[in-house]
């Protein structure tokens, strides 16, 4: 006989941890997009100041594009998860009641 975990018996601590993780998941890519310099030259300058190693303007432009696309992809993935969860929950409850 298998014992299934019921979602009704989650502790308040696990629910709080889940919500904190969700907030961090949304804030991280949003902050990256907001703080990302608009021009590649500024990104190259920041990179040089922080690491001491210089990068070319072309590399800075590619790095900026990559970080921007990765952050947008993360936000799209989080949006898809949120929509899927909101749509799937009512469907599951109606199927169980039948």
pLDDT tens, residue by residue, 31-48: 998 988 989 899 999 999
Burial class (CB in 10 A: 0-12, 13-18, 19+), 12: exposed
Q: Please tell me the predicted confidence (pLDDT) of residue 77.
A: 92
pLDDT in tens, 45-92: 999 999 998 999 999 999 999 999 999 999 999 999 888 888 876 665
CA dihedral (12, 17, 21, 24) in degrees, to 10, reads: 100
The pTM of the full predicted model, rounded to 2 decimals, is 0.67
Q: Which two tokens stand for residue 31?
A: 């902050």
* Residue 68 confidence (pLDDT): 93
Nearest to 7 by CA among 92, 94, 87: 92
- CA dist., res. 2 & res. 52, Å (int): 58
């Amino acid at each position: 006989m298998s014992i299934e975990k019921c979602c009704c018996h989650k502790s308040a601590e696990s629910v709080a941890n889940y919500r904190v993780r969700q907030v961090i998941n949304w804030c991280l890519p949003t902050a990256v997009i907001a703080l990302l310099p608009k021009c590649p030259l500024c990104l190259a300058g920041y990179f040089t100041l922080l690491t001491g190693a210089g990068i070319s303007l072309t590399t800075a432009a590619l790095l900026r594009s990559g970080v921007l696309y990765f952050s947008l992809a993360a936000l799209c993935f989080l949006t898809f998860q949120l929509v899927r969860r909101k749509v799937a929950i009512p469907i599951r409850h109606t199927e169980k009641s039948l």
